[in-house]
Amino acid sequence: MKIAVPVIGTQGLDAPVSEHFGRAPAFTIVDMNTKEAKVVLNSGEHFGGIKVAPEILAEEGVEIVLCSGLGPKAINMFEQFGIEVYVGASGTVRDAIRAFQAGLLHEASDKDACMMHRH
């Protein structure tokens, strides 16, 4: 299973969780089977690319996303790709994964969407 976390920086498991999903400079992707971490730079539309972040993560084989919060458009796109999203992540990637494993994050729904992204 691959878990992705939007991050600020390229420190892998020690990178801070980005509070703004789509504008996160990078994503740390952790393969929970091998425990390997990979950093993927966000080449999405907010950074001059033509893809959106959910599409980039789907192409990387991500099954679960842990984030602080995200907008309704991203929630809907992840749903279309069959990727589960959990909100409430904070600290580092390592912290976010521990919180997820402990059941402290909850699955995203439209009511969790960031208010500033409701357009």
Q: What is the CATH number of the domain that holds 31?
A: 3.30.420.130
Range of the domain at 101: 2-117
Please answer whether residues 93 and 29 qualify as being in contact, where contact means their C-beta atoms are separated by less than 8 angstroms: no
Residue 96, C-beta contacts closer than 8 angstroms, at least 6 positions apart:
5, 17, 66, 89, 90, 105
State how far the Cα of 99 lies from the Cα of 93, in Å rounded to an integer: 10
Give tens-digit pLDDT for 4-20: 999 999 999 999 999 98
State how far the Cα of 102 lies from the Cα of 96, in Å rounded to an integer: 10
Please count the structural domains in the chain: 1
Please answer whether residues 6 and 67 qualify as being in contact, where contact means their C-beta atoms are separated by less than 8 angstroms: yes
What pLDDT is recorded for position 117? 45
Give tens-digit pLDDT for 28-86: 999 999 999 999 999 877 777 778 899 999 999 999 999 998 888 889 999 999 999 99
